[in-house]
A and B are shown apart, each in its own frame.
Chain A
Amino acid sequence: MSFLNDVVNIVIKYYPNLLDGVGNTMLIALIGTVAGLVIGLLTGVVRTAPLSKNAVLRVLHKILNAVIAVYVEIFRGTPMMVQAMVIYWGYAFATGGSTLPLIPSGILIVSINTGAYMAEIVRGGIISIDKGQFEGAMSIGMTHSQTMLKVIIPQVMRNILPSVSNEFVINIKDTSVLNVIGVTELYYFAGIIKRQSFETFQTYLVVCVIYFILTFTVTRLLRWVERKLDGNDSYVIFGSQSDSAAEIRISREA
């Protein structure tokens, strides 16, 4: 079984490199997804906010909406690999040769790219919330921003969680394109290991399995979070016998 031996040897021999790669891949994917979600929330809130009665604010709001629309179209409409090259080398070109540090560059590129997708996911999440939720909040005098913060965004977060996990999984896999600018993520290390071991198939098979373990674990984990958030379908009446939190006191008459 020399094939299996090869595979095991690659893991044993190169595990520090592989772990390094996994660490960087997960770091870039995680921060990139969270930052992308923040971008998505901000743009989503801006784009769904009612236009102000003040003429100046209304014009500014419309300009901001247009800027967001352009951002979303450009970053959804071009490959992330090309975006990485353009941003990384564009910075080098503009500054006359100095380059950004690699890992932060990777995080920046993934964040901006994910933000464009998240912008649409969040916008969809906000407009899918029943109009009655807004009206209920308005009817007791809550302002638009209070309503967003306390009522709408928490519901949006729950509703878009499956899409957000999807983006996270996509990012774990797609950080592999960052090897074009030399970011030391998992796929970059695969190239190094291949060149040292001359065992191309075995190397990429190992990397393939590692990617799958990463994405599968993340998917299961986030599914668990979803179930936790949903809680019970039925309600235990406060203070009743079936309420485990209720205190049952038994006193005996003397």
Chain B
Amino acid sequence: MSEKVIELVHLQKQFGENTVLRDINLSVSKGEVLSIIGASGSGKSTMLRCINLLETPTSGQILYHGKDITGHDMNLSQYRAKVGMVFQSFNLFSNMTALNNCITGQVSVLKRSREEAEAIAMKYLERVGMAPYINARPSQLSGGQKQRVAIARALAMEPEALLFDEPTSALDPQMVGEVLDVMRSLAEDGLTMIVVTHEMAFARDVSSNVVFMSGGVICEEGKPHDIFENPQNPKTREFLTRFLDSHRGNY
């Protein structure tokens, strides 16, 4: 097994009295694509948001190359530049063009020159097929286009790993395809990815590992083939059966 990029150790998250994550242990290696599946409310998104410290864990550790990032001495800004995130609701800066969305972070955080940042931004906008739309503002783009720009924005930081929080859940079926195609090609290029998703076909075909979560705990973890063809945990079985029933033909 190659080097571990991100590791969660006894991670716990509570919102007041409500425990959302209990004792999560998980690790992601370089080049791995990890899909996290499970019903809504099972803690998938919260876990992902903890990894980027958009939520502060109640207890436990988040290790980045073996170093705990929940400590105060950690430079959060530099860490987040290394571990990017793509959101369900895109969260593009609505006051900027697609191009500037991809430039701002590079200039502010990585201290790249404007010219260098623009060249890199163009490279990744081309990569996601959004080069003709560089001067469009987010309000002028469709959902799928917005999400591709958001992916380009994250890629422009040249991160080590990318977190995807249900990136296709707000899109119609045709747009889902264009976004998944981009993600598929990133996976083929060896980018380390953690993907929270309801796209079972993507989880099965693209990921190297799949985690099934329920009630704030990891119920089952394994190769996609094993999880989808031969789930061991009854909860996984129930989830997949119900999912297949409602999505017959799509899977």
Chain A interface residues toward B at CB < 8 A: 53, 130, 132-133, 135-143, 146, 150-151, 154-155, 158, 231-235, 237-240
Q: Tell me, yes or no, whether B2 is within 8 Å of chain A by CB.
A: no
A140-B109, A235-B133 known; 7 other A-B pairs, CB under 8 Å? A130-B91, A132-B90, A136-B90, A136-B93, A136-B150, A237-B132, A237-B133
Question: Do A235 and B141 have beta carbons less than 8 Å apart?
Answer: yes
CA A151 to CA B54, docked complex, whole Å: 18
How many interface residues does B have (CB within 8 Å)?
A: 38
The answer to whether A138 touches B54 (Cβ under 8 A) is: yes
Interface pair A135/B87, CB less than 8 Å apart: yes
B49: min CB distance to chain A, Å: 9
Taking Cβ atoms with an 8 Å cutoff, the residues of B that contact A are 52, 54, 72, 76-81, 84-85, 87, 89-96, 104-105, 108-109, 131-137, 139-141, 150, 153-154, 157
- Cα A142 to Cα B108 in complex, Å, equals 7
A142 neighbours in B (Cβ, 8 Å): 77, 104-105, 108-109
> Given A132-B89, A231-B137: A141 and B94 within 8 A (CB)?
no
* Contact (A139, B87) CB under 8 Å given A155-B95, A235-B140: yes
Once A238-B134, A240-B132 are accepted as A-B contacts, the answer to whether A141 and B91 lie under 8 Å apart by CB is no
22 contacts between A and B (CB under 8 A): A130-B91, A132-B87, A132-B89, A132-B90, A136-B92, A138-B80, A140-B84, A141-B79, A141-B80, A142-B77, A142-B105, A143-B108, A150-B93, A151-B95, A155-B95, A158-B95, A231-B137, A233-B139, A233-B140, A235-B140, A237-B132, A240-B132
A140: B residues at CB distance < 8 A: 80-81, 84, 105, 109, 153-154, 157
The answer for the CA separation of A232 and B137 in the assembled complex, in Å, is 10
Question: Cβ of A238: which chain B residues have Cβ within 8 Å of it?
Answer: 131-135
| Nearest CB of A to B144, in Å | 15
Which B residue's beta carbon lies closest to that of A146? B108
Which of A53, A130, A141 counts the most chain B CB atoms within 10 A?
Answer: A141
CA distance A231 to B135 in the complex (A): 12
Tell which of A53, A136, A142, A146 has the most Cβ of chain B within 10 Å: A136
**Whole-angstrom CA separation of A239 from B90 in the bound complex:** 26
Nearest CB of chain B from residue A229's CB, rounded to whole Å: 10
Q: How far in angstroms is the closest Cβ of chain A from B90?
A: 8
Interface centre among B78, B108, B137 (most CB of A within 10 A): B108
Check B154 against A139 for contact (C-beta < 8 Å).
yes
B159 to chain A, nearest CB (A): 9
The answer for the CA separation of A231 and B94 in the assembled complex, in Å, is: 13
Q: Which residues of A contact B76 (CB under 8 A)?
A: 141
Min CB distance A241 to B, Å, is 12
Closest to B135 in A: A238
B93 touches A137 (CB 8 A): yes
B136 — which chain A residues lie within 8 A by C-beta?
235
Closest approach, in angstroms, between the C-beta of B93 and any C-beta of chain A?
A: 5
Shortest beta-carbon distance from B137 to chain A in Å: 7
- A117–B57 Cα distance when bound, in Å, is 39
Q: CB-CB < 8 A to B133: which residues of A?
A: 235, 237-238
By beta carbon, the residue of chain A nearest B157 is A140
Distance of A151 Cα from B96 Cα, bound (Å) = 8
A232 touches B140 (CB 8 A): yes
Q: Measured between C-beta atoms, what is the minimum distance from A1 to chain B in Å? A: 56
Distance between Cα atoms of A154 and B95 in the complex (Å): 7
Q: Find chain A residues with CB under 8 A from B134 CB.
A: 238
Per the bound structure, the CA–CA distance linking A143 and B76 in Å amounts to 9
* B91 contacts A133, C-beta separation under 8 Å: yes
**Cα–Cα, bound, A139→B101 (Å):** 13
Assembly CA distance A138 to B132 (angstroms): 27
| CA distance in complex: A120, B12 (Å) | 38
CA distance A232 to B97 in the complex (A): 13
Contact of B77 among A136, A143, A232 (CB under 8 A): A143
Which B residues touch A150, using CB under 8 A? 93, 104, 108
Q: Are A139 and B140 interface neighbours, CB within 8 A?
A: no
Please give the distance in Å from A76's CB to the nearest CB on chain B.
29
Q: Are B109 and A136 in contact (CB under 8 A)?
A: no
Tell me the bound Cα distance from A231 to B97 in angstroms.
12
CA distance A53 to B70 in the complex (A): 13
Question: In the complex, A53→B74 CA distance in Å?
Answer: 14
A141 to B21, CA, bound (A): 25
- Find A139's partner among B84, B94, B104, B131 (CB 8 Å cutoff): B84
| Contacting residues, chain A, for B140 (C-beta < 8 A) | 232-235
Contact of B94 among A143, A146, A155 (CB under 8 A): A155
What residue of chain B has the Cβ atom nearest to residue A131's Cβ? B91
